[in-house]
Amino acid sequence: MHSSVVFTGIYGYAIGIFWLLCGVLFITINLCCQCDEGRRKKINLLCNYKDYLSPIHMVIILLLFAIVTSGLTIAISAKFNNEARTSVNIIIKTANDAAEIIHNATGALKDIQEDLVEASVGVEASGNLYSTADKFDATAENIIKKARKNRHLINKAFKVVFVITIVIISLNLIAATTLSVSGLLKFWRVLYLLMVICWLMIVIGWLLFGVYLFLENFSNDACTSLFNFEENPYNNSLSYIIPCDELLSAKSFISEVGGGIYNLVNEVNSNISNLQGTFPNLVYLCNPFTAPPQYLYQPENCPPSSIQIGDIPKVLKPYTCFDDGGEKCNNQEFISSSEYEVVESYTSSIQNLLNVYPSMEKLIGCELVKDAFSEVLLKHCKPLRKLAKTVWLGILLLELIIMYSVVLWMRIKVVHEHSYHVSHGQG
């Protein structure tokens, strides 16, 4: 996202500054005219319009237009705020989901590591599992930290913009209404003060117009970044929130896990084949991975008669001696309860890892993030741009109405003063 986007609202800022300068120039000329009575009368004569069309009716019409425009603009601004927050929440939720998937995977890895240590096997392998789990946990915590920080900042920014929008539009409307009411009631002494206030409110209104111009271009730029993320998720400005490049480093490890489980299941099934003569009721394990080198996770291809790794304890339970003092415990065909508990814990951990394996694959391939960004692109990008544009168009119309009202009252005031001086001059 380019920093130049910030300056895309410069048109509104420039108009606001220009209008402010015009106000300063008008006040300066007015003060000079008051110092030179002859020149003031000359200027008043130039402004002696007799053909202005029913200014009272015009003022009322403009005021009604301003009220309607203000209400619609605030309502559309609220929709823009909700749409923007929804889009942000989708992205942040995806980051949180990614962190949860990583934590689930690392939890399973740590359980396997503990099982290996308790069984006093694979000490070196268990150490590698623990270090890998810690690395993944650090990545997950980093994602959560960034997600929370960005959600807080972005939501706060949108809330501030929305509140400022309501305040500025409301103050503009109040100032314009007070000006018109004072003029209609012929409170000429306060009219100049109210004109100055309206003039300043118009300046602020144009600055708000510039802000929404910026927000429209910001929405365009953000949606472009989302589209580019789909094309290349590993080198993108949005990688700051969800670092797909960091997750990509786990691809080789996931492949090793798949290969390890594939070899383990094949070894168990080979032993089952050797024991078929003694235990004809033994069933084969489902090997959810394809042959090397791909090791693709495809559990749907398992034979119907096979069982999941997590179901191994159910198969072994009838062959387990839970009563160490019982007669069948002396039978070598049965395993002890402690051995059964190790197998149960170990297979449960592996099954937990397999349960999150598809999510890990989607996460490492950044498919999870792409799906979320696709949802924002398809459902929210177009409304965001449209709403931002509609808001700045509403502000534009409102400021033009108030500007015309101020100019109209300036004209009425000048004509009134000229008539007053002419009548007193004749008297």
pLDDT digits 0-9 by tens, 183-228:
888 887 888 888 888 888 888 888 898 889 888 888 888 888 888 8
Average pLDDT of 298-323?
A: 82
Q: Where are the domains positioned within the chain?
A: 3-242+370-426, 251-365
Q: Is residue 71 predicted with pLDDT exceeding 90?
A: yes
Residue 16 to residue 208: CA distance in whole angstroms: 9
Q: How far is CA 411 from CA 47, 249, 290, in A?
A: 7, 72, 85
Residue 417, pLDDT score: 62
Residue 54, pLDDT score: 64
The dihedral over CA atoms of 341, 344, 346, 351, expressed in degrees to the nearest 10, equals: -170
Task: Report the run of H or E that residue 321 belongs to, with start and end.
Answer: strand 320-321
Confidence of residue 127 (pLDDT cuts 50, 70, 90): low
Amino acid (1-letter code) at residue 138: A
Q: Is residue 91 predicted with pLDDT exceeding 90?
A: no
Both tokens of 149, joined, read 């920080």
Which residues neighbour 400 within 8 Å (Cβ) at sequence distance 6 or greater? none
334: left (phi over 0), alpha (psi -120 to 50) or beta: beta
Confidence of residue 73 (pLDDT cuts 50, 70, 90): very high
Q: Is residue 11 predicted with pLDDT exceeding 80?
A: no
Cut 0.85: pTM above it: no
- Cα-atom radius of gyration of the chain, to the nearest Å? 37
Both tokens of 116, joined, read 């290996």
The model's pLDDT over 379-415, given as tens digits with 9 standing for 90+, comes to 899 999 999 999 999 998 898 888 888 888 877 776 6
Residue 391, pLDDT score: 94
Residue 33, pLDDT score: 52
Q: In whole numbers, what is the pLDDT of the chain averaged over residues?
A: 77
